[in-house]
Structure 1
Amino acid sequence: MQEASLVGLVRTILIILFIYFGLKLIFKWFGPLILKYFMRKMGEKAFKGFNPQDFSNPNSSHNNKKNIDKDPETKRKEKKPVGEYIDYEEID
């Protein structure tokens, strides 16, 4: 049967503190490098779908014309009357 001892408890606490401060120090040193890497990858993904030819000469593109003469097909529905408004007063 195993018994809990004070030496084992102190050893466990020291190991936990060593791991905590070790990881904290590693992230302090290498955190900015990791963040730069992920930000660069996210930027590449964000601009991957854009075609640089679309931005070079906007007058040559045939997709620049927009149809603004189109009437909206959906019309607003009339609101049905819900009922009478009742103002309640608070009683002290």
Structure 2
Amino acid sequence: MDTASFTGFLKTIAILIMIYYAIRIAFRLLAPVLIQQVVKKAGKNFHEQQQNMQQQYQQQPDPYPSGKPREKKKVGEYIDFEEIE
């Protein structure tokens, strides 16, 4: 069985620190590319949704075919109340 030595411990710490900094540098280099891809995809999805909504709107029948709004049901007459002092 091997015993742990101080130099082995220092080597392990040095390797862990180098791996940590390598990951940080790689992330700094790759993050802009990844973010750009995410933004492109979100923009594409938004554009597709907008086109789908536009097509659905164009396919709906005109609610007022004659150009005039429909007459609403008359429920009763309007009564204007005045305040009495």
Q: Shorter-chain TM-score: what band?
A: 0.5 to 0.7
- Other structure's SS at 2:50 match: coil
Cα distance change on mapping 1:32 and 1:5 into 2, 3 Å = same
Q: 2:60 aligns with which of 45, 59, 62?
A: 62
| Structure 2 stretches lacking a partner, 5+ long | 64-71, 73-85
Q: Normalized against structure 2, the TM-score is what?
A: 0.56
Between Structure 1 and Structure 2, the one with more helix by share is 2
Q: Normalized against structure 1, the TM-score is what?
A: 0.52
Q: Percent identity?
A: 21
RMSD of aligned alpha carbons: 2.9
1:46 paired residue number = 46
1:7 paired residue number = 7
Superposed, 1:10-89 pairs within 5 Å as 10-51=10-51, 54=54, 62=60, 65=63
Q: Kindly report structure 1 stretches of 4+ aligned residues shifted beyond 6 Å.
A: none
